[in-house]
Amino acid sequence: MIFSIESATLRQYAVVILVNLSVFTTGMNIAWPSPMLVKLRNATETPLYRPITEEEGSWIVSVGSICSIFSNIFLGMLLDSIGRKYCVILTCVPKMLICILYIFATDVWMLILGRALMGITDSLVFTVVPVYASEIASKGMRGALGTFLQIFSSLGIVISFSVGPFTSYSTFNIVFAAITLFTSVPLIFLPDSPYFLYSKGKNDEAIEVLQDLRGSKQLAMEEIAMYATSMNNEKVDKIKLLKSRVVLKSIAIVMILSAGSQLVGFNAVSFYLQTILISTKTNVMPEIASVIIGLIQLTASFCTTFLTERFKRKQILISTLLGMMVGLVGLGVFFKITEYTNEVSGFMNYLPLISLILVVFCFSAGMGSLTWVLTAELFDGPARAIGSSSSLIVSNIFLFLTTKYFSALTLSIGPAITYWLFSGACVITCLFIYFYIPETKGKSFSEIQKELGGEIEENKDKEKS
């Protein structure tokens, strides 16, 4: 029995690692603008007939997020209609075609189109993977396995930061296409989500998958019983679902959390990383610094897996947000001082790098990993797709605003004040997490719902009946 459960634990790890291969190439695409914008602005390195302008660069960075806002409305429905597994597989073909478009791009509109389509594809990945992972993982392993999304995203970012600055535009995009193809093939062997199978009336298949993942038929049947309670043996009515106070409360929480995850400025800093490092004019080589920062992000993502097993979600989020605040204040201080002097020496040479490392490490160890985990945990089965879609829509709205206007904001009010505004957003998000988000570690989905007020709502429904 013990051996069976240990084997089942390994199977859970294997399946979640497999589904996160789709996130690996998403990470590469997230970091794509950092090395590529520098090349596209350089007359000798760009594959286009002319270097791109600042405005075109901002659209290349941000267009994916604005397109995702509209596509996310339908992604939740797709998740429930064809299932989690086939949603992941569905992303592979467009990713491959977009990589080919990147390779043969000759005009800026081709890059903007590619980034727009990749943004929609990545949104589907970020919608389905946390939901799938939370339904594959057992209650005790949900936190640790949920952080794999950030680990694989960071691995992709490291590849972009490590290969992009040192190769030509064409070479990097050929590497991108090859890795996309290589990571797509294993996704065919994923099992489908047991929850989705059960929701479609495929009870025997759901029990079989759960038995493999939990290590015993008894544990599988216990989880099936929880599915039955969750669904109330009725067809899910989306309108009725959206009238539930608990669901609405969960949606409000994840929407504010998603907005906060973008307003803290990490993605704006990440997309323009190499450009920011060049603008500091320190003795630290921007290309080397970007590799170091990428490796720090990967290290932080691995750390989160261990942190989630030892500390509560809220403790990790609050402490890492405070660390981000310190890093962003440090960046602001550097740029404020350099407004008055062109000479950068001693510790000041390393202050931007140290500050960026702190920002990247803390975001990856906290908000970057746990926002996805919390979004999946705060919703019970039928509402999970709606919750993930709502979270991504808000996240993409604020991602678009922060990335599209980051460059314009730094030019109008200066980089120092821009980074200090981001640090203020860290404090506000920190306070929201402390006062309004319930602790979810080690709790079943039904226990989390009760903490959100589900028990009160259930009693009211009984009184009415």
In the chain, domain spans = 2-190+236-464
Segment 38-54 mean pLDDT: 91
- pLDDT value, residue 171: 95
Residue 169 · residue 40 · CB < 8 Å: yes
- pLDDT value, residue 454: 57
Q: What are the C-alpha distances in Å from 243 to residues 52, 238, 314, 352, 451?
A: 48, 9, 28, 48, 18
> What are 397-455's pLDDT values in tens digits?
898 888 888 888 888 998 889 999 999 999 999 999 999 888 887 777 777 878 777 55
Q: Residue 277, CB half-sphere, CA atoms under 13 Å: how many?
A: 25
Instruction: List the one residue out of 215, 223, 4, 69 whose CA is nearest residue 134.
Output: 223
- pLDDT value, residue 238: 64
- pLDDT value, residue 2: 40
Looking up tokens 């062109």, which residue turns up?
342
* Cα–Cα distance measured from residue 340 to residue 130, given in angstroms and rounded to the nearest whole number: 47
User: Hey, what are 57's tokens?
Assistant: 């660069």
Instruction: List the one residue out of 244, 258, 265, 261 whose CA is nearest residue 391.
Output: 258
- pLDDT value, residue 462: 47
What is this structure's pTM? 0.74
- What is the three-class DSSP state of 350? coil
- What is the three-class DSSP state of 167? coil
Q: Environment class of residue 430 by beta-carbon count within 10 Å: exposed (0-12), middle (13-18) or buried (19+)? A: buried
Segment 371-387 mean pLDDT: 76
- Mean pLDDT (the chain, rounded): 83
Neighbours of 141 (CB within 10 A): 18
CB-based contacts of 244, cutoff 8 Å, min separation 6: 383, 457
Sign of CA dihedral 150, 24, 94, 12: negative
Q: Which residue has the higher pLDDT, 263 or 388?
A: 263
* Cα–Cα distance measured from residue 260 to residue 254, given in angstroms and rounded to the nearest whole number: 10
Segment 120-124 mean pLDDT: 87
Q: Which residue has the higher pLDDT, 22 or 294?
A: 22
pLDDT at 114 over 90: yes
Residue 152 · residue 21 · CB < 8 Å: yes
* Cα–Cα distance measured from residue 144 to residue 133, given in angstroms and rounded to the nearest whole number: 10
Residue 326 pLDDT grade (very low, low, confident, very high; cuts 50, 70, 90): very high
Low-confidence winner among 45-49, 249-253, 280-284, 369-373 (lowest mean pLDDT): 280-284
Q: Which residue has the higher pLDDT, 313 or 3?
A: 313
- pLDDT value, residue 34: 85
Q: Environment class of residue 427 by beta-carbon count within 10 Å: exposed (0-12), middle (13-18) or buried (19+)? A: middle
- pLDDT value, residue 286: 75
**Which stretch of DSSP H or E encloses residue 411?**
helix 384-413
Residue 71 · residue 123 · CB < 8 Å: yes
Residue 463 pLDDT grade (very low, low, confident, very high; cuts 50, 70, 90): very low
- pLDDT value, residue 425: 95
CB-based contacts of 11, cutoff 8 Å, min separation 6: 212, 213
Choosing among 3.40.50.720, 3.40.50.300, 1.20.1250.20, 1.10.10.60, the CATH entry for 2-190+236-464 is 1.20.1250.20
* Cα–Cα distance measured from residue 335 to residue 419, given in angstroms and rounded to the nearest whole number: 9
- pLDDT value, residue 1: 41
- pLDDT value, residue 76: 65
Residue 308 pLDDT grade (very low, low, confident, very high; cuts 50, 70, 90): confident
> What are 55-69's pLDDT values in tens digits?
898 899 889 888 877
| DSSP secondary structure letter of residue 452 | T
Residue 360 pLDDT grade (very low, low, confident, very high; cuts 50, 70, 90): confident
User: Hey, what are 437's tokens?
Assistant: 């988000």
- Residue 363 amino acid letter: F
Segment 158-186 mean pLDDT: 92
Residue 84 · residue 187 · CB < 8 Å: no
Rg (the chain; Cα; Å): 22
Residue-by-residue DSSP string for 79-100: HHHH-HHHHHHHTHHHHHHHHH
CB-based contacts of 121, cutoff 8 Å, min separation 6: 91, 94, 95, 98
> What are 180-237's pLDDT values in tens digits?
999 999 888 888 888 888 878 788 888 888 888 877 777 778 777 777 766 654 455 5
- pLDDT value, residue 73: 66
- pLDDT value, residue 456: 46
Residue 389 · residue 238 · CB < 8 Å: no
- pLDDT value, residue 322: 95
Q: What percent of the chain has pLDDT over 70?
A: 90
CB-based contacts of 407, cutoff 8 Å, min separation 6: 54, 57, 58, 272
Q: Which residue has the higher pLDDT, 377 or 44?
A: 44
Sign of CA dihedral 149, 158, 176, 40: positive
Segment 380-405 mean pLDDT: 80
pLDDT at 149 over 70: yes
